[in-house]
Amino acid sequence: MVTVVGVAYRGQIPLQDIRIDFQVEAVTPPAASGFGVRKTVSLTGPLSETEQLRLRRAAEYCPVGQLFTKGALAIEDQVAYSAQGTAPEAVVPAGLVPQPLLDALPTCPPGAVHGRYLGDTREYADSGVLQQEGEVKLYLTCENLTRPGRWTILAGHSSAGWMPPPVPLAYGALAASTVTTLRQFVSRDAWPPAGFHVEIIPQGAGNRDHAQAAAAAGALNARRAVRKIVLHEAPGVSPVQAIEAALQHDPLSLSFRRGGVLLGEQIVVT
């Protein structure tokens, strides 16, 4: 959303508002990554057909959309061992935590994500030039076996840094998904008792202006990142093969690698 806003500003396109809605569906592997989305982009403003096409292309080639649909992220996996205390006291080591019956539960329940652009959070320099595209309010809801869950978060570009930009948020999701998948598919006996964590180390990340220029041009903006699984003590038996096998089931890793998540897409202009 903030990419489209930035492209519209730089292209002097009279975009007055934008909203994005995703319906999330469970899709059975191996044909897909375990989930799929249907995307609706709603644009408001007196937009010519050419301007609509430019914004449609920017939406298609936004940095996170490229991760999902263009294979723009190359992930290098590493397994490391750290003897230093990497888990704060509040965190219970994974190996000691009773796990829910993950095998019996859907990892991606159906639901929706609704993005609403907060236009009055845009920031301008004294010269009048747009400095920050502003904030997006995101409503998330999904089914659970008790009752639906609901959450609200912010993301976007802000000089005060109240919320993460979209790409770091996507990397955070990848790290979280990796932990969930490893817990689900690697036997608890394979982990050292002190547990593990996952790190993401972006490399050559580029910047917002470059990403928006690529989106405006409909060009691939390739990224690389190291994903490191860090064991908190030396394992008795190397779990590398078990980890590698488990990562083949990670829905975000799969979707970033082979796409197929976008089940449908429409642009509505009012």
Q: Which member of 56, 114, 224, 257 binds other proteins (CB under 8 A)?
A: 114
Q: Which member of 99, 189, 219, 220 binds other proteins (CB under 8 A)?
A: 99
Tell me how far, at minimum, the Cβ of 235 lies from other proteins, in Å: 8
Tell me how far, at minimum, the Cβ of 48 lies from other proteins, in Å: 25
Positions in 129-158 near other proteins (CB under 8 A):
136, 138, 140, 142-147, 149, 151, 153, 155-156
Judged by CB under 8 A, does residue 160 bind other proteins? no
Binding track, positions 183-222, relative to other proteins; x by CB under 8 A:
x-----------xxxxxxxxx-------------------
Tell me how far, at minimum, the Cβ of 69 lies from other proteins, in Å: 9
Among the listed ranges 9-17, 122-130, 177-185, 206-214, the one in contact with other proteins (CB under 8 A) is 177-185
Tell me how far, at minimum, the Cβ of 174 lies from other proteins, in Å: 7
Judged by CB under 8 A, does residue 8 bind other proteins? no
- Neighbouring residues of 257: CB distance < 8 A, sequence distance ≥ 6: 71, 75
Binding track, positions 220-239, relative to other proteins; x by CB under 8 A:
------x-x-----x---x-
